[in-house]
Amino acid sequence: MSKTKQSLKKLETFKNPNPNRDYVITITCPEFTSVCPKTGLPDFGEIVINYTPNKLCIELKSLKYYLLGFRNKGIFYEYLVNKILDDLSRLLKPKEITITGNFTPRGGISTSVTAKYSGSKL
Amino acid sequence: MSKTKQSLKKLETFKNPNPNRDYVITITCPEFTSVCPKTGLPDFGEIVINYTPNKLCIELKSLKYYLLGFRNKGIFYEYLVNKILDDLSRLLKPKEITITGNFTPRGGISTSVTAKYSGSKL
Amino acid sequence: MSKTKQSLKKLETFKNPNPNRDYVITITCPEFTSVCPKTGLPDFGEIVINYTPNKLCIELKSLKYYLLGFRNKGIFYEYLVNKILDDLSRLLKPKEITITGNFTPRGGISTSVTAKYSGSKL
Amino acid sequence: MSKTKQSLKKLETFKNPNPNRDYVITITCPEFTSVCPKTGLPDFGEIVINYTPNKLCIELKSLKYYLLGFRNKGIFYEYLVNKILDDLSRLLKPKEITITGNFTPRGGISTSVTAKYSGSKL
Amino acid sequence: MSKTKQSLKKLETFKNPNPNRDYVITITCPEFTSVCPKTGLPDFGEIVINYTPNKLCIELKSLKYYLLGFRNKGIFYEYLVNKILDDLSRLLKPKEITITGNFTPRGGISTSVTAKYSGSKL
Amino acid sequence: MSKTKQSLKKLETFKNPNPNRDYVITITCPEFTSVCPKTGLPDFGEIVINYTPNKLCIELKSLKYYLLGFRNKGIFYEYLVNKILDDLSRLLKPKEITITGNFTPRGGISTSVTAKYSGSKL
Amino acid sequence: MSKTKQSLKKLETFKNPNPNRDYVITITCPEFTSVCPKTGLPDFGEIVINYTPNKLCIELKSLKYYLLGFRNKGIFYEYLVNKILDDLSRLLKPKEITITGNFTPRGGISTSVTAKYSGSKL
Amino acid sequence: MSKTKQSLKKLETFKNPNPNRDYVITITCPEFTSVCPKTGLPDFGEIVINYTPNKLCIELKSLKYYLLGFRNKGIFYEYLVNKILDDLSRLLKPKEITITGNFTPRGGISTSVTAKYSGSKL
Amino acid sequence: MSKTKQSLKKLETFKNPNPNRDYVITITCPEFTSVCPKTGLPDFGEIVINYTPNKLCIELKSLKYYLLGFRNKGIFYEYLVNKILDDLSRLLKPKEITITGNFTPRGGISTSVTAKYSGSKL
Amino acid sequence: MSKTKQSLKKLETFKNPNPNRDYVITITCPEFTSVCPKTGLPDFGEIVINYTPNKLCIELKSLKYYLLGFRNKGIFYEYLVNKILDDLSRLLKPKEITITGNFTPRGGISTSVTAKYSGSKL
């Protein structure tokens, strides 16, 4: 009945329809949730993916299942954002990609993490 | 490592410090998530609880675990809001209580459900 | 390839899980579009459905296809809102239902139409 | 160096300049803080006082010191709002007074409490 | 009765009244809709066109019919934005032009695509 | 070349498609302008028309020309709102109609005027 | 060079153009300032006047000078709002009039005062 | 009775009180209206003037009458913004000046035009 | 009773606690008022001071009285902003300072003035 | 019962999970309060910490207690922001760190202070 297991499946891609032109795709996922590894309580936030595709674009439905795969995993904010950046930059080999996670307040304190990969630096 | 099992524990209450005066408590939980029983995909929303206590008030930490108990359960919006109303009105026997669920859009359509219980009608 | 024809199919319902309690369901569809019968140009708006179910609730996916059925139909604002009210009140026989259409500006003028049906008045 | 002790001083009043006319005074204090008696951690919120004066009005500077008196006290939300209502209604004997406390989120859950006193009901 | 067919007509232009000065025109079309080629369901979004004219400016009424021509076409976001950029940059040969498409959420995920053409790079 | 003269033409109506049901139509015109009879300078504002039709509805294009007819007329706010109410209530004989004019600040002071007609009181 | 002295002149009125119909005029003056009689420091706020005219309407320019007359006067909030109400209700003998003063924060606390006069109660 | 004719009078200036320092003046006129030369219908928008004065500053009252001079003129957006830029840059010979026109939607499409003059380029 | 005379007193400073580090202080005064030298009527606005201190910081209470000193002075916007810049830059000799005045609309037109001083350019 | 004493404990850190990549962490604490050393009255504000970690990241719970340690301390805005910058830059030796304090209005004037440290300058 749950599709959580399915979400562990691989991310899928499709061919960039305009590989000769640099252009930017921004994907915003305000319904992200994972689990705090320290307290076992859920964390909530928004994941923003901003990239300039090279030969491949990310397929949105598989991205949704990929993000859903963190739902019941214990993971720290800093590690999470860097892991999504690693996974997507390895898969897409984009010209440039930035991942931002904006997390809701805990104890009156809210946190956001932003990490960037530039194809030329690889 | 996860506290999801703990969340199935009973809701707790404390004695209303002013049972002789009618007053209103509003509790807003914008980080609610459950699972759509049809698609197996997560639903996201905000639960608002508004009540006039009688002899008992709801303890906030146990309420948090109670709501966390829906995280991986398949449940429809209409049933969910009515179930929270049933559970809280049975436990608290409040003078009046209203539960509202405001859920995020699916397929371009967003839904909210509001149900109310009045002590005098029981 | 298009599902527009499918959208002409009948609206579907499911049994109200709490027929003994009066409660309110609000459904907001900000992605509504139809065609102006006078100019042939598209109209855009938001349809809000607010009802107290009796024995039946409206199934959301079939509602989406029902509203999609207006996409290429020529229809005036006033007629449209009254027709949705007629269709849903006949189908659901709700205790009360209100339909609101908020339409985007044309020639610097924006319009909204609100119609209501009360079961007891039928 | 601190004026916290001063804040325990009595609330002061001045004569209502228009005792023959019913009118409404609303005072909003968005900088309220006290301490959670359970965790020892600070709580933050906004206190709103809305009243129809009878013979007396509340003096604003003494009200500021009165609210400052809760800064390092352990007190629950429900008790706090009812205590402010008791203190002000005893002092002012107003025709009507409502106290609202809107508190910032803790663990993803925010709370507000509203209590009212009507002179005729005393 | 429908003007959808008319919308397939050619885009029209008029002479830039100030070809000697670089200046910027921004056109915002919040009422864009097309069809998802995968699901056959409608997509909704806002198209923003920002350009520095060279010898020609785009005529707004013909632009409206051009955008209306996508109403019942199945087209992906990435392809759509690049196609509008190709069509307008070929027609206007502007000094610079940027097309942005901001699309409404599907499955809790919203997407925007931005592509740019610079006359000097042609 | 100007349609200002045309705007003095009569308001037009169409038959209410649902005369047996009371429903509400709200028309908002944020682009209203007239002339201050005292200073000869333009006034700017928003006219809101809210009515329950009886046998007739107002046709929007003719309403636009009717409001355009005030563009170069000297008229006070209070008289203007009452005149629109008189013209529309005589024409439509609605069950109820309210006209509101919200005017932009002059000398740091902004004004709004609201007048209402109820069919039963006529 | 200053018009402050002029502001002490009498308020002026004009004849209500529609004395047979009850309608509402709302005047908002966000640029009000007076002086705190205790500290000698300026107070700032917004005065809102809402009335149903009887035989007379308030002339806006003279109202502006009347309000300007408080610029360098020491006056408490509660007294000020009641004085404006007294002055305007004596002058206009309106069917109903409400005066609201919304004052900016002092020491983290903001205040508003609302007083009402109803012609029938006089 | 109308001051529209007066508005055709010349723009006036005053001496820059600080000609030795580069500083920026921004003037926003949200109440601009002209006439569409194609349809004869009014256009509405906001004109923003942003400049670094040289020896002269624009006098605000004469600017108001200058802008009022477009009220009943048929003029396209692109031409209008460039004409205001030409008129003001010739008159003021500023170090830098930018004119922006933000126009309200027509047929669901809104437009803005921005043109800039730099004294050094003249 | 009034402190307006006091406000003409000198601005006061205190020693920058971190003279070795460049950092930025922003002070916002939304309650500024002066008098238009042409009409004698009050002007209202917000003064924003943004500076990088050198050896001295501005003391806030004396700044308040300094700004209060303009309350009944006739002064043009352009001169005012430049005068505050001159006074503060002479007093503080800051590394950099910017003064902005944002003034409320007069005759439908609002104005802001921004002037900057850089220590190295002196 | 109070954890204020605990808050004086040392700030804690954890190892940066991605020391080879430059990325940015932003922490926002809107519930900051300290005491004005001059008046003894509480100050309220928001502290924003923005840094690029080097080998260490700040642990959020210990940061909360660190900030809580200022609750009853008399400290000026300028000194406070520079002290937090000194403490965190010494502890974390980050590649770059910026501290901003946005404080609520006092006497109609609000203040913010921003200080920055760059690892390469140390």
Residue C56 has pLDDT above 50, yes or no: yes
Residue B115 and residue B81 in contact, taking contact as beta carbons nearer than 8 Å: yes
**pLDDT tens, residue by residue, B49-102:** 999 999 999 999 999 999 999 999 999 999 999 999 999 999 999 999 999 999
Mean pLDDT of D59-82: 96
Percent of chain G with pLDDT over 70: 90
pLDDT confidence of G120, banded at 50, 70, 90? low
Q: pTM, whole model, 2 decimals? A: 0.92
pLDDT confidence of E119, banded at 50, 70, 90? confident
Residue J97 has pLDDT above 80, yes or no: yes
Q: What are phi and psi of H33, to 5 degrees?
A: -145, 140
pLDDT for the residue A51:
98
Amino acid identity for residue J58 in this structure:
I
Are residues G104 and J107, on separate chains, in Cβ contact within 8 Å? no
Active-site option among E22, E29, E36, E57? E36
pLDDT for the residue A79:
96
Mean pLDDT of A14-29: 96
E43 belongs to the catalytic site: yes
pLDDT for the residue D9:
57
Percent of chain A with pLDDT over 70: 90
Longest dimension (CA), chain G: 48
Contacts of B23 in chain D (CB under 8 A): 78, 81-82, 113-116
C-alpha to C-alpha distance for G81 and G101, rounded to whole angstroms: 6
Distances (CA, A) of I71 to C76, G2, H103: 57, 12, 37
Mean pLDDT of E11-36: 96
pLDDT for the residue B9:
57
**Alpha helices in chain G, H assignment, sequence order:** 60-68, 77-92
Residue B121 has pLDDT above 70, yes or no: no
Mean pLDDT of J92-120: 94
Q: What are phi and psi of E3, to 5 degrees?
A: -100, 15
Strands F96-106 and F109-118: antiparallel
**pLDDT tens, residue by residue, H89-115:** 999 999 999 999 999 999 899 999 999
pLDDT for the residue E54:
97
**Alpha helices in B1-122, H assignment, sequence order:** 60-68, 77-92
pLDDT for the residue I5:
44
pLDDT for the residue E3:
44
C87 belongs to the catalytic site: no
pLDDT for the residue G119:
81
**pLDDT tens, residue by residue, G27-52:** 999 999 999 999 999 999 999 999 99
Residue G102 has pLDDT above 90, yes or no: yes
Mark whether C and H touch (3+ CB pairs within 8 Å): yes
**pLDDT tens, residue by residue, A48-64:** 999 999 999 999 999 99
Residue I51 and residue I22 in contact, taking contact as beta carbons nearer than 8 Å: no
Which of H38, H48, H78, H118 to mutate to probe the E interface, most E CBs <10 Å? Answer: H78
Distances (CA, A) of I33 to D112, H24, I43, I77: 38, 21, 6, 11
Contacts of H37 in chain F (CB under 8 A): 1
Give me chain G's average pLDDT, please: 91
Mean pLDDT of E55-81: 96
- Residue F67: which region, alpha, beta or left (left: phi > 0; alpha: psi -120 to 50)? alpha
Mean pLDDT of E27-54: 97
Question: Which region among B32-41, E20-29, E73-82, E113-122 has the lowest average model confidence (pLDDT)?
Answer: E113-122
Contacts of B82 in chain C (CB under 8 A): 17-18, 21, 23
Separation in Å, CA of D17 to nearest CA in chain B? 30
Lookup result for tokens 């039709």: F53
pLDDT confidence of D2, banded at 50, 70, 90? very low
Point out the residue among E18, E26, E30 whose CB comes nearest to the CB of H108: E30
Contacts of C4 in chain E (CB under 8 A): 40, 72
Asked whether this complex has an ipTM greater than 0.85, the answer is yes
Residue A7 has pLDDT above 80, yes or no: no
Are residues G108 and J108, on separate chains, in Cβ contact within 8 Å? no
Residue F121 has pLDDT above 80, yes or no: no
C-alpha to C-alpha distance for J2 and D42, rounded to whole angstroms: 9
Residue C107 and residue F29 in contact, taking contact as beta carbons nearer than 8 Å: no
**pLDDT tens, residue by residue, H37-72:** 999 999 999 999 999 999 999 999 999 999 999 999
Q: For residue J51, what is the enclosing H or E element?
A: strand J42-52
Distances (CA, A) of E67 to A39, E61, E74, G54: 51, 10, 13, 54
Give, as one character, the DSSP assignment of residue B20. T
Are residues C31 and E42, on separate chains, in Cβ contact within 8 Å? yes
Mean pLDDT of E23-41: 96
pLDDT confidence of I2, banded at 50, 70, 90? very low
Mean pLDDT of J10-36: 96
Tokens read off for E113: 């695509």
Separation in Å, CA of I27 to nearest CA in chain J? 5
Are residues D82 and B16, on separate chains, in Cβ contact within 8 Å? no
pLDDT for the residue G31:
97
C-alpha to C-alpha distance for I113 and I115, rounded to whole angstroms: 7
Lookup result for tokens 């990435």: E78
pLDDT for the residue J4:
42
Q: Is G43 helix (H, G, I), strand (E, B) or coil?
A: strand
Mapping DSSP onto H, E and C, the string for A8-63 reads: HCCCCEEECCCCCCCEEEEEEEEEEEEECCCCCCEEEEEEEEEEECCCEEECHHHH
Which residue in D122, D119, D35 sits closest to D80, CA to CA? D35
pLDDT for the residue E8:
42
pLDDT for the residue C119:
81
Contacts of E75 in chain A (CB under 8 A): none
pLDDT for the residue I9:
57
pLDDT confidence of D119, banded at 50, 70, 90? confident
Strand pairing partners for G28?
Answer: F110, G48
